[in-house]
Amino acid sequence: MSDSSSPLAGPPPSIETLQVFVRVAELASFTQAAQSLGLPKASASTAVQRLEASLGTRLFHRTTRRVQLTQDGQACYERCKDLLADLDDMQTMFQPAASGLRGRLRADMPMRVAHDLVMPRLPEFLAAHPGLEVELSSTDRRVDLVREGFDCVLRVGPLSDSSLVARPLGAMEMVNLASSGYVAAFGTPASLEDLAHHRLVQYVATLGQRCPGFEWRDEGGATHFVPMPGALTVSDSGSYTAACLAGLGIIQVPRHGLEAEVLDGRLVEVLPGFRAAPMPVHLLYAHRRQLPRRVQAFMQWLAELLAPRLLPLSSASSAPSS
């Protein structure tokens, strides 16, 4: 028997209210959420207040500078995402494939992959599916797929997200590059011993970390590192390539994406017999009973787009990469 002193439950929240709440949670901003949904800011704030009153709990910590989910808010966010996704599945499960894909799709991938491979071909995908809206994040940071509301993530490198489903695509062949100006000034290294007289552009995921040095894999598949001096440390792939082009040192990058710079002579391959292990490539997505058709279609398109540029995944080393 229920407690007669308990407040009466209000009407269940509307789908629109849940959508507003999820958007505020994803963007951590009432203003940005309202703009993305085409609503006045006051409407977004009112919708969340109604939801909090209906549930009887506070969903956000609000200050003048930030909006952050409470513990109850995080739990509510995860349930709302599932509810909205299930509703979307139900609305489309009986539609014929010929009716086309629709809705919003949010994906993340490394900067170079987005700029060099995906963007040039994305118009074809969108032309084939005019009902889709794609939100594409291109960053070298490892995003939180669930918390940040991504449908799928393309990840290059070792995996650490055990709670996610990983679809292996292959591995990217690595190459050592230096600019033609650097080679003219410092010469071309002919052996690992020669690296003591050369510079490496240091790459780290987060500034403050230590780069282990020049990476290479022996014939047995073991990964080794040669410590090298370097005057510059960067934490994003764009700066990494730009530093090499500026003659600041040797870099180790996937072969595909810099073919034009190699062909026109701006970049030169060095030590081809001492390459780093190929980097594994996966598509990640959250556990779901059934992925929306738009997400399935986008992931399949990505897989087919990248396939000619990837080696079999077995060629990648299981050792952590720098």
Spell out the domain ranges in the chain: 15-87, 101-169+279-315, 174-269
- Decide whether 15-87 matches 101-169+279-315 in CATH topology: no
Distance of CA 69 to the CA centre of its chain: 22
Q: What is the pLDDT of residue 319?
A: 40
Under 8 Å between Cβ of 316 and 280? yes
Report CA torsion sign: 24, 29, 32, 35.
Answer: positive
Residue with token string 């594994």 = 280
Q: What is the pLDDT of residue 92?
A: 64
- The closest of 175, 173, 168, 215 to 313, measured between CA atoms, is 168
3-state secondary structure 92-124: HCCCCHHHCCEEEEEEEECHHHHHHHHCCCHHH
15-87 CATH pick, 1.10.10.10, 2.60.40.2140, 1.20.140.10, 3.30.300.30 = 1.10.10.10
**Nearest-10 Cα torsion for 157, 202, 139, 77:** 70
For 206-253, the DSSP string reads SBTB----EEEE-TTS-EEEE----S-EESSHHHHHHHHHTTS-BEEE
Q: What is the pLDDT of residue 288?
A: 66
Identify the DSSP state of 4.
T
For 177-216, the DSSP string reads EEEHHHHHHH----SSGGGGGS-B-EE-SSBTB----EEE
Which amino acid would we find at residue 88?
A: D
Which amino acid would we find at residue 119?
A: M
CATH fold label, 174-269: D-Maltodextrin-Binding Protein; domain 2 (3.40.190)
At the fourth CATH level, which superfamily is domain 101-169+279-315? Periplasmic binding protein-like II (3.40.190.10)
Residue ranges in the chain modelled with pLDDT below 50: 1-8, 98, 317-322
Q: What is the pLDDT of residue 196?
A: 94
Phi, psi of 76 (to 5 degrees): -65, -40
